[in-house]
Structure 1
Amino acid sequence: MSETHALMDGRLHVYRRENSRFWQCATYLNGRNHRQSTKETNIAYAREFARDWFLDRVAEDRLRRRRGLVVQSGQPARPEHVPKAQPGEKTFREAAAVFEREYEAMTLGERNPSYVAGKGRVLRLYLNPFFGDLPLSQVTAGRIQEYRLHRVTPPSEPARVRYVKDGRARVGKVRAWKRPSRQTLHNEIVCLRQVLKTANRKGWIAALPDMSSPYRASGKISHRAWFSPQEYKRLYEATRERARNPKKERWREECEQFHDYVLFMVNTGLRPDEAQRLQFRDVSVVVDDATGERILEIEVRGKRGVGYCKSMPGAVLPFQRVKKRKGGEPSDLVFGLVQRELLNAVLDELDLKKDREGNPRTAYSLRHTYICLRLMEGADIYQVAKNCRTSVEMIEKYYASHIANTLDASAINVRKQKPAKRRAASDETT
């Protein structure tokens, strides 16, 4: 038998099951049962937590009846009139739970753990509060568009951060609303589609609704932030000056490391996370058979698995300086974490933090610079894509579209000769 205590004139119950050491609380509001674990073993703390929790539920219930919305702290609202599920029909929340369990098990070792955890975070913070109690048959194209509209509409009241401390529910500072980016909203819709696909496989729905975004035929193609040859020259000259004359002597090694990092990245095209994982045993200095120049052969481990990269000759000397400076063992990291603060400080000094479109430059911009410089020098786009472990389509979309050197004037400015007979006829008439 479970031990039970009645509070708030019998509208709130605090109880503990036989095989549990934690107290739980429950109430019945507006035709629904609400339950929550207090995570407390002491009954006094549990009763105090339960009272705060009950008052929050009552306030939410009033908002639901008054405004037609359920407003939870930092979470999206959901429709008031939630259609009741037919007997045997599953809700979105149940499908989401199945998807999350399957996704974690099926992608074990194949996906980054933080990426997998992000799916659960999207479900918990955004999708379940909006769609959770809806029957799967009611998750229609119209509902999905309502969700998009809700996410980009500022709330009428600012949300406050809620947290639990010392067994009590507390309210913190006001959380400023920020419009989600296009990519953030796209990721949420992708997660929604994956949940509905899970429901489809289980036979809980007959087909997926239309989830395409209306009013948007195609997105604007904008190039990624990079450094033009003149800007890159200013950047490496500034990092070289810092390496020679650091502002403080104890910063000398960090400044030298950062200077070599900039040169290495622009001459290899590695992603920042790939450079972060790079070990000395992954890099070999070789003489290229085709050019006769010394280059680096790099075994890259990144988001695409294991790949290979052949560097420009300009990457050899920075790598040798780093190896001599660190005296590293084969399993030691070449660079480790990106020196983000130092990069931002140098870019701010040179007024290069943003390009002319307002795109911020980051360590990824060094990779973009490598690709753009290779295209400007006339390198084969397929070989550049292969060396950077990406696709030709991505390079054509984000890089080649704004590189003037990729346009062949001789092929564009073609002047076709008039046929001989037509030219002779025109001469006779004159």
Structure 2
Amino acid sequence: MVALKPDTHVLLDGAVKVYKRGNSRLWQATFKIDQHWVRISTGKQDLEEAKTAARDQYLEYRFRAKHDLPVVTKRFEDVARLAIVDMQRQLDAGAGRKVFKDYITALHRYFIPFFGKTFITSIDHDRIQAFNAWRTSVIGHEPKASTLNTHNSAMNRVYAEAVSRGFVMQAKVPILANNGEGAQRRPDFSLADYRTMIRKLPHWIEQGKGGKSRDMRELLRDYVLIVANTGMRPGTEDQNLRWKHVTVFTENQLDYVEFYLAGKTKPREAIGRSGTIDYLRRIHSRTDAIKHIPFEVMLKQKLDLPVFCLPDGSVTEHLRQTFKAFLTASDLLKCPKTGENRVLYSLRHTYATFALVNDGMEIHALAKQMGTSIGMIERHYSHLTPRMKKDMFTGKRYELSRDEFDKTD
């Protein structure tokens, strides 16, 4: 503990001591909370103002200890745990972003074990470089750019907490670089493989046993079709989708289905491709709690019931395994262009590929539909550019315009 000068001032029956260090004009304070020494700067030069500030800080720390909140010092682990508490509180209230879970995991797994006892004001470029090397050794390989983005965002949450408490100035917050491996092409389905998959699903369902096994296969079929025709995120947006989030409307004698999707990013509306309504009708017809209600009437009731459920209304967590079993049986598991196994998320990538190449959708429109950034679309689907521009590269667009011109001559 810091040696105190003779002019140390004692508050609250000795619980708080206010003093000055020789090289500072500001009054300091120290006190003990649950066997944990806390040392703070009051930020005050005036003694009476410093006493008031020290007393207020002591009472705040006592409150935190009583309510099982972190007792905060300038040590990294204490500030990080406070940031974690804040993110978890938001998640529990349903207001936090889903990515907060990833931030919390990164802080527990990497940042707190390495930086733990280090004062947040002491973390400099060299210390961060040492951390980067240590993290690579723990992971076993260089982290990808997407992983580094998540980790950097988690670290920034801690620094935001430190800045808000006056532990560090914003100008002193280190810039966290992302030199990770760039975005790689993700496994999807070619048009031929997608057609093969859709053609084989009904027969695969018929081959299944009765009961839950058959129910899982039927749900998988409609799940695949809906995700591949909307681009929604498997694992987040699909789990949050309720019937109250589905709207069917008619314009120019055509029916459209709109989804309100909430998950990794801020909520958005997305339009399903033609045929998506039919897949929703099939799920509705199998769900015991609502199948007796006409489909259009059921949608207008805005029921808070999951869309992707089994007939008894339960939500399964095993569609991923069922999908893998189907792809394996159908010889479709391996994506020939990436060499990686296809997963449920491949359906989202397939939607993006078809939208860009077959539908000619503009990138900014696709980004809005999929709830991502234009930059993300460009990074992950840049390999499609030659196919998107094939007519221009081959001169086919010019030939088409000439043909049309000749016909009107």
SS of the aligned residue for 1:268 comes to coil
SS of the aligned residue for 1:399 comes to helix
Does the 8 Å CA contact 2:188/2:342 hold for their aligned counterparts? yes
Counterpart for residue 300 of structure 1: 261
1:333 equivalenced with 2:306 (yes/no): yes
Does the 8 Å CA contact 1:223/1:402 hold for their aligned counterparts? no
Counterpart for residue 318 of structure 1: 279
1:136 equivalenced with 2:120 (yes/no): yes
Counterpart for residue 349 of structure 1: 329
Counterpart for residue 270 of structure 1: 232
AA aligned to 1:326 is T
- Separation in 2, partners of 1:360, 1:391: 25
Does the 8 Å CA contact 1:223/1:399 hold for their aligned counterparts? yes
Sort the Cα spacing of 1:403 and 1:238 in 2 relative to 1 into closer, same or farther, 3 A: farther
Counterpart for residue 350 of structure 2: 369
- Separation in 1, partners of 2:362, 2:74: 53
Does the 8 Å CA contact 2:185/2:380 hold for their aligned counterparts? yes
Sort the Cα spacing of 1:298 and 1:131 in 2 relative to 1 into closer, same or farther, 3 A: closer
Deviation of 1:116 (Å) = 4.0
Q: Give CA deviations for 1:338-396 in whole Å, capped at 9, x if unaligned.
A: 61111000112233323232333221211221121122222333333333233333222
- Separation in 1, partners of 2:261, 2:279: 18
AA aligned to 2:348 is R
Counterpart for residue 176 of structure 2: 211
Does the 8 Å CA contact 2:90/2:96 hold for their aligned counterparts? no
Q: Give CA deviations for 1:106-163 in whole Å, capped at 9, x if unaligned.
A: 7754314x75455444434432332222233431111111111112226xxxxxxxxx
Sort the Cα spacing of 1:283 and 1:141 in 2 relative to 1 into closer, same or farther, 3 A: same
Counterpart for residue 234 of structure 1: 196
Does the 8 Å CA contact 2:237/2:262 hold for their aligned counterparts? yes
Deviation of 1:93 (Å) = 2.9
- Separation in 1, partners of 2:370, 2:197: 22
Deviation of 1:228 (Å) = 0.8
AA aligned to 1:349 is A
1:123 equivalenced with 2:88 (yes/no): no
AA aligned to 1:211 is L
- Separation in 1, partners of 2:155, 2:184: 27
Does the 8 Å CA contact 1:375/1:400 hold for their aligned counterparts? no
Does the 8 Å CA contact 2:204/2:326 hold for their aligned counterparts? no
Deviation of 1:231 (Å) = 0.9
Counterpart for residue 260 of structure 1: 222
Does the 8 Å CA contact 1:378/1:405 hold for their aligned counterparts? no
Higher helix residue share: 2
Counterpart for residue 372 of structure 2: 390
Q: Give CA deviations for 1:193-231 in whole Å, capped at 9, x if unaligned.
A: 332343344333341234325xx4x74342222111011
AA aligned to 2:185 is H
Which is greater in Rg?
1
Counterpart for residue 196 of structure 1: 159
Q: Percent identity?
A: 25
Deviation of 1:321 (Å) = 1.6
- Separation in 2, partners of 1:187, 1:304: 13
Q: State how many pairs are aligned.
A: 299
Deviation of 1:306 (Å) = 3.5
Deviation of 1:259 (Å) = 1.5
Sort the Cα spacing of 1:276 and 1:94 in 2 relative to 1 into closer, same or farther, 3 A: closer
- Separation in 1, partners of 2:394, 2:168: 53
- Separation in 1, partners of 2:218, 2:89: 44
- Separation in 2, partners of 1:111, 1:319: 29
Q: Which runs of 5+ in 1 are unaligned?
A: 1-34, 37-88, 155-176, 415-430
Q: Which runs of 5+ in 2 are unaligned?
A: 1-33, 36-72, 291-302, 310-315, 397-409
Indicate the structure whose relative CO is greater, using CA pairs within 8 Å and at least 6 residues apart.
Answer: 2
Sort the Cα spacing of 1:299 and 1:407 in 2 relative to 1 into closer, same or farther, 3 A: same
Deviation of 1:181 (Å) = 4.0
Counterpart for residue 249 of structure 1: 210
Q: Give CA deviations for 1:44-97 in whole Å, capped at 9, x if unaligned.
A: xxxxxxxxxxxxxxxxxxxxxxxxxxxxxxxxxxxxxxxxxxxxx933234334
- Separation in 2, partners of 1:284, 1:121: 36
Sort the Cα spacing of 1:395 and 1:324 in 2 relative to 1 into closer, same or farther, 3 A: same
SS of the aligned residue for 2:371 comes to coil
Does the 8 Å CA contact 2:240/2:262 hold for their aligned counterparts? yes
Does the 8 Å CA contact 1:140/1:210 hold for their aligned counterparts? no
AA aligned to 2:241 is L
Sort the Cα spacing of 1:191 and 1:321 in 2 relative to 1 into closer, same or farther, 3 A: closer
Does the 8 Å CA contact 2:238/2:308 hold for their aligned counterparts? yes
SS of the aligned residue for 1:234 comes to helix
Does the 8 Å CA contact 1:92/1:136 hold for their aligned counterparts? yes
Counterpart for residue 174 of structure 1: none
Deviation of 1:98 (Å) = 4.0
- Separation in 2, partners of 1:189, 1:306: 23
